[in-house]
Structure 1
Amino acid sequence: MKRLKMIEKILDAGVIAVIRSESKEKAIQVVEAVKRGGIRGIELTMTVPGAVDIIKELCEANTDHELIIGAGTVLDTETAAACIRAGADFIVSPSLNPEVLKLCNRYRVAVMPGVVTVRDAVEALEYGVEIIKVFPASLFGPGILSALKGPLPQANFMPTGGVTLDNIKNWVKAGAVAVGIGSELTKGAKTGDYELVEKTAAQFVERFQKAIAEERK
């Protein structure tokens, strides 16, 4: 049940903040900023120094379970297992690795592999993936979701990379059930402007929710 509830929480949150940083301190400050902005989904990538320890720290501090804390850029089973032990609510990979999918299934942890082809999307479905990450979405634009949804209307897709405040509506219209936002969300962190990160987070949440509401009319 935990995995199913986590999928529901991810879908309900809609916007997932993809956090990459050169230090633990900056990563945590970004997490705090996007949380203040209303984003509840956090994907801390393994490119952040000490990422597994940061995930553990964030999970231990998340006593009210307000945040959904996941691990991103997970390339192998060893890393996936370490993140799960640290308390990660979900695992995200940039590509489809069957062994990572099997490990996450074994421990009933939500997993979102990256795909850009129908073949990989079908394989993800066969491994029981509930939300499929489309990455790098910036190379294709919203049209890739329309193309994938053609033969696979039953699949749930989450584009990551290339989603902006200006085009988020188009991604939702094309079929996105959630979106992963990285540099477009956290660019303020480069100059230490965490108020900008917070403001941008609030704008993404507002525009995503508005787009979803319009599609449901």
Structure 2
Amino acid sequence: MDKYAVIQQIMKTKVVAVIRGQTGEEAVQLSKAAIEGGIRAIELTYTTPAIADVFRELQHTDALLGAGSVMDSETARHAILAGAKFVVSSHFIESVAELCNRYGVPYMPGCMTIREMALALEAGCDVLKLFPANHFAPSVIKSVNGPLPNARIMPTGGINLDNVQEWLKAGAVAAGIGNDLNKAFQSGGYEAVVELSKQYMQKSAE
């Protein structure tokens, strides 16, 4: 799958599950539950122990797997070799952008300011992660697209069932969710994550 096909798939599914497990097995269960609930883009964070095993366990699912919390180009390379189809970080890292461009893998860095977004766009980033999104209102997307009309924004951090639809209607190409899934897993286990994922997908389709 080439770079633009990956981006199109993320924009089509609209919801990216950010999986941050306390253990590798927890990350696998969270991911499988999210997939069963209809989410087709899974961001596996590199803060999760034994993350390579998690990628290996999920390779045969029908979800698009990406890597999150990538802090350097070495980690990005490891993620791509493990099967990551997209790479995400909390902030813009030039060396990660260069490596991802070299291998034709979308890199979605966290940005908060117009300057950071402009630098990321100049480095070839096609989707920008607005992070943490809970510092902004959805109307920020229209404000950003004034000076940067080609910026595709994916808010992450503070996205929930109450506001995900508002963000998408404001122009977000997708939304990253994570804390809600973890809370559901801790309180209700696997089935609670399946049900919550279904609700997110229903909201995103309305």
Same fold (TM over 0.5): yes
Aligned length: 206
Structure 1 residues not aligned, in runs of 5+ = 211-217
Aligned to 2:112: 116
Conserved 8 A contact 2:24-2:53: no
Identity of aligned residues (%): 45
Cα deviations across residues 87-110 of structure 1 (Å, max 9, x unaligned)? 111100110001100000001111
1:1-217 to 2 correspondences below 5 Å: 2-59=2-59, 61-62=60-61, 66-210=62-206
The secondary structure found in structure 2 opposite 1:193 is helix
Deviation at 1:149, TM superposition (A): 2.0
Conserved 8 A contact 1:55-1:71: no
Deviation at 1:141, TM superposition (A): 3.0
Cα deviations across residues 42-88 of structure 1 (Å, max 9, x unaligned)? 001011101133123322x23xxx20000000000110010111111
Counterparts of 1:204 and 1:185, CA distance in 2: 10
TM-score normalised by L of structure 2: 0.95
TM-score normalised by L of structure 1: 0.90
Counterparts of 1:21 and 1:5, CA distance in 2: 28
Structure 2 residues not aligned, in runs of 5+ = none
Deviation at 1:191, TM superposition (A): 3.2
Deviation at 1:140, TM superposition (A): 2.0
Conserved 8 A contact 1:93-1:114: yes
Conserved 8 A contact 1:46-1:52: no
Conserved 8 A contact 1:38-1:205: yes
Counterparts of 1:205 and 1:165, CA distance in 2: 10
The secondary structure found in structure 2 opposite 1:113 is strand
The secondary structure found in structure 1 opposite 2:65 is strand
Conserved 8 A contact 2:30-2:181: no
